[in-house]
Amino acid sequence: MQRTDPSDLDSTPDEAVSDRAFHLIGQARRLADRGKFDEANAKLAEADKAVPGLSETAEARRKIAELATPEGRFAIQLSRARTAIGNDDYAAAEKELAEAAKLKPEAPEIAVLRQEMQTAQQKGAKRSGQVAELLAAMRESIARKDIAGADRAFNEASRIDILDPTLDQARVELAQAHDAARDRKN
């Protein structure tokens, strides 16, 4: 927060009041990111009431005004689509791209993001296929009572995609195989 006169220490607003103003500014930015510009401006008005003349409020107001333009809304949609693609949420990405296309139907960025999404989907499918093959090899090793081979296959599958949901069940199967092997030794 900036004071108009840095030597006037008495002009510093109460810390709780300034915290509230910054909280309101953060809320305004989040609302604007969701396209709720009227609500965002209302939060900025509250921040202005709490701490008048705050430079951060003015900066947020300027950024929100930019986002409220068609170009700004288009940029928001593209950003959301990129985030969805990065999270492997292709349905959400397609929804955001469709919204962006309503704003700028011929924008080349939309085609680029659709291509990125397709590439990501193909890579995901390839990873899933590799994980499935390795987990099949793990199960075959368990059937042969080759626990070391099962461990190797599971570890390799984990390195390919640690978040693959099929690894959860495979982890249980491998633990059971370890328990059975330990029981056979005893």
Average pLDDT over residues 13-22: 85
pLDDT at 6: 45
d(CA 100, CA 82): 12
Q: Is 164 helix (H, G, I), strand (E, B) or coil?
A: coil
Q: Over the stretch 136-156, which tens digit does the pLDDT of each residue have?
A: 999 999 999 999 999 999 999
Q: Over the stretch 86-99, which tens digit does the pLDDT of each residue have?
A: 998 999 999 999 99
CA nearest 154: which of 170, 169, 140?
Answer: 170
CA nearest 75: which of 113, 123, 21, 117?
Answer: 113
pTM over 0.75: no
Q: What is the mean pLDDT of the chain?
A: 90
The torsion region of residue 53 among left (phi > 0), alpha (psi -120 to 50) and beta comes to left
Position 13 pLDDT exceeds 60: no
Q: Over the stretch 98-119, which tens digit does the pLDDT of each residue have?
A: 999 999 999 999 999 999 999 9
The answer to whether the CB of 141 falls within 8 A of the CB of 109 is: no
